[in-house]
Amino acid sequence: MTPVDILPQASPLPQLAQQLKTTGYAILSAASVCAWAHCTLDELNAIAQSWHGMPADPYLKDGGRYRKRRHASFTFAHDVVSPVAHRAHWQPLTYNALHGGMTRWFEPMPAEVATSAPWLRLLRAFAQTAIQLHADNTAAHTPPVQCIEAHQFRIDTTDGIGRPTPEGAHRDGVDLVGVFMLHRQDIKGGETRVFDARGTTGERFTLQEPWSLLLLDDARVIHETTPIQPTQAGGYRDTLVLTAKQDTFLEEAKTAVNAPSQSQ
């Protein structure tokens, strides 16, 4: 019998903040994402075109060839999103047992995407949600700076199986995580699982709608996505992952080195 995907229960946009505070995660439909980010679906789909032709991830330690990715960093302060000079991605082993402790230089996002008005509006909405989530912990006289990392991912099935989260169930060591589903092409699997970090409760569902969004309070929940398999040749899964951390990038000192030359 073919497994039936469990579709997620999306939250109405006006209930987003309360849903995050209550359960530690929330899901928005594509229509709600457009309203949240003040973007049209056509503008978001134009951004998604940059997922084609991405370079392979050279750091996979499981020997796989299934992940393509790019990376970029930004700050949000005084209601302005600003690109940051290209920098490495670094996580401690505490949060990534497979790839933690590695200084990983990924190819940058295309400049025409990273500086486009729809993209900056999307990041602004994400940063404002992160600020709202932790507003009770922020001094009123000190506007927080949000340090945002953006990860473009394509997981393909060229070798039969692709693993969206090869590190397993995890937290990212940030304040807020956003996982945007962009496209599923000829695949099965890819079920997302969200668990209470301090208990045994959890939910599972399969993100399918292009530009639907899963938001995660990283201090309260852990998450993973199951492997994907092709239903026809050439299957893949495209996602955008955003993370926000107040005032500093994760272990920023670990990446305070000169970037190697990057091909543009």
CA dist 134 and 103 (Å) reads: 29
CA dist 104 and 50 (Å) reads: 21
Q: What is the pLDDT of residue 138?
A: 58
Q: What is the pLDDT of residue 101?
A: 64
Cα–Cα nearest to 92, from 179, 167, 149, 163: 167
Q: What is the pLDDT of residue 97?
A: 57
**Amino acid code (one letter) for 121:** R
Higher per-residue confidence, 237 vs 3:
237
236-263 burial, b at 16+ Cβ within 10 Å, e below that, comes to: bbbbbbbbbbbeebbeeeebeeeeeeee
Residue with the two structure tokens 């992940």: 67
Q: State the pLDDT confidence band at 117, using cuts at 50, 70 and 90.
A: very high
Q: What is the pLDDT of residue 261?
A: 38
Q: Which tokens is 178 given?
A: 């956003």
**Terminal C-alpha separation, the chain:** 47
Three-class secondary structure of residue 54 per DSSP = coil
Residue spans of the domains in the chain: they are 20-254
Three-class secondary structure of residue 36 per DSSP = helix
Span 128-138, average pLDDT: 85
Higher per-residue confidence, 251 vs 261:
251
CATH architecture of 20-254: Sandwich (2.60)
Higher per-residue confidence, 142 vs 44:
44
Q: Which tokens is 46 given?
A: 């134009």
Cα–Cα nearest to 73, from 62, 50, 89: 89
Q: What is the pLDDT of residue 264?
A: 31
Q: What is the pLDDT of residues 70-104, one digit of tens each?
A: 999 999 999 999 999 999 998 777 766 557 668 88
**Amino acid code (one letter) for 120:** L
Q: What is the pLDDT of residue 63?
A: 80
> How far from 235 is each of 65, 87, 228, CA to CA, in Å?
14, 31, 9
The answer, yes or no, to whether residue 48 has pLDDT greater than 60, is: yes
Q: State the pLDDT confidence band at 256, using cuts at 50, 70 and 90.
A: very low
Q: What is this structure's pTM? A: 0.91
Q: What is the pLDDT of residue 13?
A: 97
The answer, yes or no, to whether residue 108 has pLDDT greater than 80, is: yes
Of 34-43, 69-78, 129-138, 251-260, the poorest mean pLDDT is in 251-260
Q: What is the pLDDT of residue 95?
A: 67
Of 92-96, 143-147, 163-167, 210-214, the poorest mean pLDDT is in 92-96
The answer, yes or no, to whether residue 199 has pLDDT greater than 50, is: yes
